[in-house]
Structure 1
Amino acid sequence: MSDQTPCVLVTGFTGFLGKVVVQELCRRQLQNLLPDHKILLLIRPSKDKTAAERFTRITKAICFSKLEDTWQDLVQVIEGDLCTPDLGLQRDVYADLARRVTHIIHCAASIDFDLPLQEATRSNVDTSMNILELARKCPNLRQLVDTSTAYVFTCQEGTIAEELAPTPMNMSPSQLHYSIQKGLIDEAELLASSGHANTYTVTKCLSEHLLFEEYGNVPVTIVRPSIISAAQEYPFPGYIDSYAAMGGFVSLFGSGFLHVIEGDPTASFDVVPVDFVASRIIEESQLAVYSEDRQTSTTKGSSKIVHCVAGLKDSISTPDFRRIGLDYFANVKSIRKPFWAYTGPRDWRYYWYKWTSQTIPLQLATWFFAAIQNKAMSKQMTIIKRGIEKVDATFPYFCLHTFDFATERRIDEGFASTEYIQVMIQGVHRHLLRREVYVE
């Protein structure tokens, strides 16, 4: 590759979406569907593994099993930390990175809904600001794509536009960011005043405002997916490796432990395949129209927001989702045969069904395995209880309201939500419940 070959910096490679974005960049380049380009992966080392070692482990994921063996030649790993100034890089390494990068795809984030406010801000706001600072110093940058969430708007009636949501508090975004960093903002007060249900959406909302406030000479596109779930086509139908959102919900439901959820029994879910999101991100990066002519590389600052959603027409209704799930798991081997007891408000019926169908049976099982000293199953019961608690705390946000996201780009005309949900449920069963995640 020449010095004029585009270089795409991708963050969040260790996550579900990040893997599929990189898989798609490689697949399309190997199939001559994109210009030749180098993929730069910024990976943070863990306590016991270097960035290179983490990359090597992740390359064994079945996400990459359909690619030619040469795909790794397209990738360069850079060890760094998005949460620190200059990405944790030495000055000369940072300068060289800025010189080379032509496109940035920022997928890294923490999708944990219950992180403390300051920690969520470090993961979802500070990282975007550090990436924006790098982008300002890239003389050949064509596009920065930042991945957000369609749920930066709190529950509201009517159509949700592709525009900034209201600011989380009655102060400027930069002032709010500073106040959070200094511990001057009470988390409960912020959530209550903004209407946000968790620190994930409120920090993503703040990040969007700061990007629009400070983009300067950088062309920025914010892509807002709805609920990201299993792949529809690439790397193959049903691929999923994340328990977040639908993954955790379907895993607990399908294994026969989750029977109750707070929500509107008539609501619909806007669930979007991960490969559709990856495709939209790559499209918005403008990589496909890259020209090697240096004289055309001058770009002006700009900002826009695009939704990446199924849309109201292709959302899945709660009754259809329940029916498809019960039909599927009735015919496969599972820990316990699933059934559904209750969807509705958090009233006496909710607590009755929760205690009789979930809490008491699970506690009895926990005591039983402890009594017979089966440590493996005792640990499993603890994990299941924590999973149910997490779903109980976070999932009602998606169940209490039907969101109508405006967008000019729907999923392909051939997309059928009921067929996709079948693919997604099969993928959860295969990859999360049966743990077919890595190729050994």
Structure 2
Amino acid sequence: MFTPQPSTIFLTGTTGFLGKVVLEELIRRREDYHLQKIIVLLRPSNTLCAQDRFYSEVASSPCFSMLHSQWQEKVEVVQGDLTQTNCGLSPETLQRICREVTHIINCAACVAFDLPLANAAIANVGSALNLMSLARSCFNLLAMVTTSTSYVAPFTESPIPATLAPLPYSPAALYQDILDGKIDEATILKQTHYPNTYTLTKCLAEHIYLSQKDLPLTIVRPSIISCAWRYPCPGWIDSKAAVAGFVALMGMGYLRVVDGKNESILDVVPVDVVANDIIREVQLISFHQSRWSDTSSGDTIVSPSCCSIVHSVAGVKRGLKIEMLASTVTRYFERIHRAQAPGKSRRPCLKYLGQRNIIFYMHDFMAQRLPLCLTSLYFHATRNPKMARKTQSLSRVLQKMNTLFPYYTNRTFDFEPSVWFLDANPLAYGLEKEDSFTPEKYAVRICEGVREHLLRI
């Protein structure tokens, strides 16, 4: 009988929403995965070393509250930085990692949409190059998974397969030109039809990864990640990015005007589904023999054609229609508003959902800009600069919401799902028949998660 060897996983991105859930899943099912150790790469902060930062920002998270009290014994934190040569690891740590690691999971990314092009390239492409260099030195490596985004695919009305999106230039040359300042950001975004530097540099990183056909690599492309469906607990979330920010601002009565099409469908996928897709693709349970050859160099891959791309998405049938999501949010938080003391929160009220026209601008001014402007003036007049700054910051966030997100709220991306885990094996996931996934149920679960874990009301 074949007995799988214990696995040692090199994991990045654990301070992020997805990375925490991947770590929790690995620890919770450590026996199934024959887990020996998880080596977590973490940057130091201005005030904390990597180890202290892990305990402060990761281990203390409610994400891990259901695990046994000694779960951290399976985790080793190493200090490093993916944007640096050798991932910022000390020579001794690097050598040991290269001897021990059997699997690599990369959940690290800079997801800011409006980062300057060069900064986004260093964060998303430079880190890819450094991680691949590390992976090639891990002579016991069995599999490597890195995360991207399904939105690297240019928009089309047709179904979108999990294939590499084209670029107009050589990926290596484009990356170098970006670093050298030879590429104008607005020009390259227009040429490639990308809405922001995040999706462009993620596409570029995919090309860099797949041009190196010497690694047992899978790229997992999530769509819009949001609240957990089941694990670590239903509705869990700790990030205000993307849909959660939309729900929080609308639920608290601040976002009242949305640039979007009623019939557009957002592809929103639960974070635990994405985590399961990542762990499935790294093949911890049914992995095959090592792909490394027995040549004298010790760094040659037997199977050079093992790179693949996998969608981790909801798909159109399970996506959230904008109109349905907005009405669910307003109804849910209207009940919360009525149950609270008067004045504790604004009543959620969607004044306008539609395309950017004169009606949009009228409602935007009357329902959002003017009230916040008057509120800011009031706080200035009453010598409350702290609240005035908060009001101005909120105004900028609302403007940003209707600047960065219309690309998504006015389109329906028909991503072809690779596997939908909840359908593939719902009982193994701990689901009963009455807990079956529907877009309407998930919209409510997002509202519950945002209220409990982000707004705490």
Calculate the TM-score normalised by the size of structure 2.
0.90
Aligned-pair CA distance for 1:296: 10
Letter in 2 for 1:98: C
Aligned match of 2:373 in 344, 363, 367?
363
Q: Secondary structure at the match of 1:288?
A: coil
**Cα distance 1:424–1:183, how it changes in 2: closer, same or farther (>3 A)?**
same
| Residue equivalent to 2:199 | 201
Alpha-carbon distance in structure 1 between the residues aligned to 2:47 and 2:371: 39
Work out whether 1:341 is the aligned partner of 2:351.
yes
Letter in 1 for 2:250: F
Alpha-carbon distance in structure 1 between the residues aligned to 2:400 and 2:282: 34
| Residue equivalent to 2:68 | 68
Aligned-pair CA distance for 1:22: 0.4
Alpha-carbon distance in structure 2 between the residues aligned to 1:336 and 1:248: 16
Work out whether 1:306 is the aligned partner of 2:310.
yes
| Residue equivalent to 1:285 | 282
Aligned-pair CA distance for 1:190: 0.6
Alpha-carbon distance in structure 1 between the residues aligned to 2:154 and 2:60: 38
Which deviates the most, 293-302 or 241-250? 293-302
Alpha-carbon distance in structure 1 between the residues aligned to 2:184 and 2:355: 28
Write out per-residue CA displacement over residues 400-431 of structure 1, whole angstroms, 9 at most, x where no aligned residue: 10110112312523311110110111111111
1:84-123 alignment, distance < 5 Å: 84-123=84-123
Alpha-carbon distance in structure 2 between the residues aligned to 1:71 and 1:201: 35
Alpha-carbon distance in structure 2 between the residues aligned to 1:96 and 1:292: 22
Work out whether 1:174 is the aligned partner of 2:172.
yes
Alpha-carbon distance in structure 1 between the residues aligned to 2:302 and 2:387: 58
Aligned-pair CA distance for 1:118: 0.5
Work out whether 1:396 is the aligned partner of 2:406.
yes
1:313-332 alignment, distance < 5 Å: 313-332=317-336
Letter in 1 for 2:336: V
Q: Any conservation in 1 of the 2:216–2:291 contact (CA below 8 Å)? A: no
Write out per-residue CA displacement over residues 201-236 of structure 1, whole angstroms, 9 at most, x where no aligned residue: 00000000111112x321110000110001011010
Q: Secondary structure at the match of 1:332?
A: helix
Q: Secondary structure at the match of 1:424?
A: helix
**Cα distance 1:400–1:365, how it changes in 2: closer, same or farther (>3 A)?**
same
Alpha-carbon distance in structure 1 between the residues aligned to 2:320 and 2:374: 35
**Cα distance 1:293–1:261, how it changes in 2: closer, same or farther (>3 A)?**
closer
**Cα distance 1:151–1:294, how it changes in 2: closer, same or farther (>3 A)?**
closer
CA RMSD of aligned residues (A): 1.8
Alpha-carbon distance in structure 2 between the residues aligned to 1:155 and 1:264: 15
Aligned-pair CA distance for 1:373: 2.2
Alpha-carbon distance in structure 2 between the residues aligned to 1:419 and 1:132: 40
Alpha-carbon distance in structure 2 between the residues aligned to 1:384 and 1:299: 54
| Residue equivalent to 1:183 | 181
Write out per-residue CA displacement over residues 98-139 of structure 1, whole angstroms, 9 at most, x where no aligned residue: 111111101100110000000001111111111111111110
**Cα distance 1:292–1:154, how it changes in 2: closer, same or farther (>3 A)?**
closer
Q: Secondary structure at the match of 2:99?
A: helix
Q: Which runs of 5+ in 2 are unaligned?
A: 295-300, 338-343, 424-435
Q: Any conservation in 2 of the 1:341–1:357 contact (CA below 8 Å)? A: yes
Which deviates the most, 320-329 or 293-302? 293-302
Q: Secondary structure at the match of 1:37?
A: strand
Q: Any conservation in 2 of the 1:35–1:290 contact (CA below 8 Å)? A: no
Q: Secondary structure at the match of 1:104?
A: strand
Alpha-carbon distance in structure 2 between the residues aligned to 1:227 and 1:141: 30
Q: Any conservation in 1 of the 2:276–2:421 contact (CA below 8 Å)? A: no
Aligned-pair CA distance for 1:386: 2.7
Alpha-carbon distance in structure 1 between the residues aligned to 2:369 and 2:179: 38
Aligned-pair CA distance for 1:19: 0.6
Q: Any conservation in 1 of the 2:142–2:290 contact (CA below 8 Å)? A: no
Q: Secondary structure at the match of 2:219?
A: strand
Alpha-carbon distance in structure 2 between the residues aligned to 1:305 and 1:291: 19
Q: Any conservation in 1 of the 2:141–2:292 contact (CA below 8 Å)? A: no
Q: Any conservation in 2 of the 1:230–1:240 contact (CA below 8 Å)? A: yes
1:140-159 alignment, distance < 5 Å: 140-159=140-159
Letter in 2 for 1:213: S
Alpha-carbon distance in structure 2 between the residues aligned to 1:228 and 1:393: 20
1:415-426 alignment, distance < 5 Å: 415-426=437-448
Q: Any conservation in 2 of the 1:196–1:202 contact (CA below 8 Å)? A: yes
The sequence identity of aligned pairs, in percent, is 41
Which deviates the most, 116-125 or 89-98? 89-98
Q: Any conservation in 2 of the 1:7–1:103 contact (CA below 8 Å)? A: yes
Q: Secondary structure at the match of 2:35?
A: coil
Alpha-carbon distance in structure 2 between the residues aligned to 1:293 and 1:394: 44
Write out per-residue CA displacement over residues 15-56 of structure 1, whole angstroms, 9 at most, x where no aligned residue: 110011101100111xx3221221010000111111111101
Letter in 2 for 1:18: G
Q: Paired residues, what number?
A: 427
Q: Any conservation in 1 of the 2:8–2:35 contact (CA below 8 Å)? A: no
| Residue equivalent to 1:250 | 247
Aligned-pair CA distance for 1:300: 2.6
Aligned-pair CA distance for 1:342: 1.5
Aligned-pair CA distance for 1:248: 1.1
Alpha-carbon distance in structure 2 between the residues aligned to 1:266 and 1:294: 47
Alpha-carbon distance in structure 2 between the residues aligned to 1:294 and 1:271: 35
Q: Secondary structure at the match of 1:331?
A: helix
| Residue equivalent to 1:211 | 209
Work out whether 1:266 is the aligned partner of 2:263.
yes
Aligned-pair CA distance for 1:166: 1.4
| Residue equivalent to 1:128 | 128
| Residue equivalent to 1:227 | 224
Alpha-carbon distance in structure 2 between the residues aligned to 1:322 and 1:383: 23
Write out per-residue CA displacement over residues 328-365 of structure 1, whole angstroms, 9 at most, x where no aligned residue: 00111362011111222221111111001000001111
**Cα distance 1:293–1:389, how it changes in 2: closer, same or farther (>3 A)?**
closer
Aligned match of 2:362 in 337, 352, 356?
352
Alpha-carbon distance in structure 2 between the residues aligned to 1:73 and 1:228: 29
Q: Any conservation in 1 of the 2:257–2:351 contact (CA below 8 Å)? A: yes
Alpha-carbon distance in structure 1 between the residues aligned to 2:293 and 2:73: 28
Which deviates the most, 293-302 or 389-398? 293-302
Write out per-residue CA displacement over residues 47-88 of structure 1, whole angstroms, 9 at most, x where no aligned residue: 111111110112111111111111100100000010011111
Aligned-pair CA distance for 1:299: 5.6
